[in-house]
Structure 1
């Protein structure tokens, strides 16, 4: 269990609510962290969504997440809060990556990691390794675009492409608890919702196979991939995750608004495939609306928690304005460095604690209601949706 000071100061919360907030979490969307020791330049690039170093004379530690690392991760590494960046990184190097990862992952209080393996490389921990170091269960989330890349590089010809893709998706889904798409990055969420015909897919595949190592951006093949993934999800009763909102510079933010998915959401409603809107910031209120009116839509805040850090409590509260409590989940979107897992969990707990304290203090909610909501968002909803 994480330490009690993971919760913010203020009026004392009822014991049942504190226990619910500090209970183990299901991190329903994360990535592997680096297994190797990192120099300062590499570390700084992993604590920002920017793809470039900070401008000369500045540092990515001068960000909300940078300040949070020095405040909350430093004590986990036996340093005083607010340790200077150089001192923090020296201690990190002294302990070594394995010990740093073990400490930060375990103190996050995660009972299960659902790991998007679409970014996995030689330097990142696998889902199983994340589980072992974090003292937790671990399962895989299959990224649709990664499966397609494998098919494009191995299929014999364009006519074989649709069948090979369907077979590869079915095989990947057999070992997974969910699927994920990054169509927001590859095209945008304002895609044509109609399923493309076979002729259009084969023609687009012919163009694709002329350069199979290129990044998939063809809108016809992206739509075909998405609908093929939905078919598999329906057959296996799996949810489909969508990256929405805030991300790295590859994304056009205005085209990553989850409200753009409204037509697609309506089209999927009869099939009942759960759609999970990840991250969403600054469109979390749009996501809350979608979750409130469509029975198969769920939402989280993901990387917004870590990157807004001390400001995240306001975002947690804004999501709770409208989203049904059985439709919200916790994720850290941990990636690259274990600090992002630790901080995601910490700011989720602190933000939700503040929101619950206000509602209890104003007599809006009972302590029992607050505890029940904390259990649902922290783990119960994910266990139900992913059938853990």
Structure 2
């Protein structure tokens, strides 16, 4: 029986609108397991014994010439035998991603640059500027409280002016959560908050300065990516429900696109915001490779209950290990294909409409939002 939606998604070349680089050094078991989880490594509990660990052994092992469900020791031995460059090439190529929009603001390990990441996949890379990093660099250089706002704005404008930058990102979810005063802070408020922060140092986590950062993003005029929901233990989950942003979204209506990243377990709340605010878009990246192909359909079904089809984007949010680039893409393709094909089979969605949704979500939505070049048609016989 032909399943044209599955075939279309399997063949689609993806635009990953939010991801990170992969580690360029070899990884021992401890290092690899630490990258499999958003939490800490606990004695006697291996991340291989989790949904994402099982998915790696099931879906990634064959690309290393191993049987499905290979044991962790065999998997890691083969990974070490091939070496990081070949491992990264295999997984990135198999993901079928043509375009990578790379957040370069988090790199505790040695990672590929955007250009290196795309080269390994035979694709193209763009950059996402993390604004907290810009602010912290301004503070590290030394700046007076009364000059902070102007210096941060100038540094942000310089950063987004680099070739290949297509968006900015904030990790306000990690620093303060979203239950903030939505109004633009006054100059006096920013100066007072900057004085306190600069005197004590550390990460940018002052609520006034985070508000100032979000409003500066509006002034920059580029799409703004916001981490929401699932993340590591720095997150206070009850404070990162994206509906906390409702008043701020009212105030910023008609300005910039706001991209809600990841979203789990708030994919339904994010869908509501995308349905009622013209400027809001979402993805369920990060979530997809952690739940794997086995549960991706359920996550995507909730995200698409009321989301306009032009508002859903694909991202992997892969970081560190190239396996996550593959698993994110595989989970997206299989989950969305199952969801759309079921609706076609039930005559709730026409096949032409389903194929338009495939094209939009796999890349066209991101290309439109970020102003990326349109996908060039490939003559018959030139694509494998």
- Quick one: which of 88, 97, 110 aligns to 1:110? 97
Q: For residue 17 of structure 1, report the CA deviation from its aligned partner.
A: 5.6
- Quick one: which of 210, 218, 232 aligns to 1:222? 210
Paired residue secondary structure (1:242): strand
The reply on whether 1:345 has 2:317 as its aligned counterpart is no
- What's 1:261 paired with? 245
The reply on whether 1:293 has 2:293 as its aligned counterpart is no
- What's 2:187 paired with? 198
TM-score under structure 2 length normalisation: 0.94
- What's 1:336 paired with? 320
Separation in 1, partners of 2:195, 2:253: 32
Would you say the 8 A contact 1:17–1:370 is kept in 2?
no
Separation in 2, partners of 1:250, 1:81: 34
Q: For residue 206 of structure 1, report the CA deviation from its aligned partner.
A: 1.4
- What's 1:136 paired with? 123
Q: Deviations over 1:241-274 (max 9, x none)?
A: 1101111000000111111111111111132x10
- What's 1:166 paired with? 153
Q: For residue 160 of structure 1, report the CA deviation from its aligned partner.
A: 1.6
Number of equivalent positions? 369
Separation in 1, partners of 2:11, 2:271: 24
Separation in 1, partners of 2:161, 2:138: 17
- Quick one: which of 68, 71, 76 aligns to 1:89? 76
The reply on whether 1:66 has 2:56 as its aligned counterpart is no
* Stretches (4+) displaced over 6 A: none
Separation in 1, partners of 2:112, 2:347: 45
- What's 1:319 paired with? 303
Would you say the 8 A contact 1:279–1:303 is kept in 2?
yes
Q: For residue 162 of structure 1, report the CA deviation from its aligned partner.
A: 1.0
Would you say the 8 A contact 2:316–2:324 is kept in 1?
yes
The reply on whether 1:278 has 2:261 as its aligned counterpart is yes
Q: Which segments of 5 or more consecutive residues in structure 1 lack a partner in the other structure?
A: 1-10
- What's 2:36 paired with? 47
TM-score under structure 1 length normalisation: 0.93
Would you say the 8 A contact 2:9–2:337 is kept in 1?
no
Would you say the 8 A contact 1:201–1:221 is kept in 2?
yes
Would you say the 8 A contact 1:108–1:345 is kept in 2?
yes
Paired residue secondary structure (2:100): strand
Q: Deviations over 1:76-117 (max 9, x none)?
A: 111111110100000000000111011101110000000001
Separation in 2, partners of 1:45, 1:260: 31
Would you say the 8 A contact 2:190–2:212 is kept in 1?
yes
Q: Which segments of 5 or more consecutive residues in structure 2 lack a partner in the other structure?
A: 373-384
1:16-55 matches, cutoff 5 A: 18-50=7-39, 52-55=40-43
Paired residue secondary structure (2:68): coil
Separation in 2, partners of 1:187, 1:90: 41
Separation in 1, partners of 2:289, 2:11: 18
Separation in 2, partners of 1:230, 1:269: 10
Deviates more, 1:115-124 or 1:68-77: 115-124
Paired residue secondary structure (1:74): helix
- What's 1:231 paired with? 219
- Quick one: which of 347, 353, 378 aligns to 1:369? 353
The reply on whether 1:356 has 2:340 as its aligned counterpart is yes
Paired residue secondary structure (1:72): helix
Q: For residue 20 of structure 1, report the CA deviation from its aligned partner.
A: 4.2
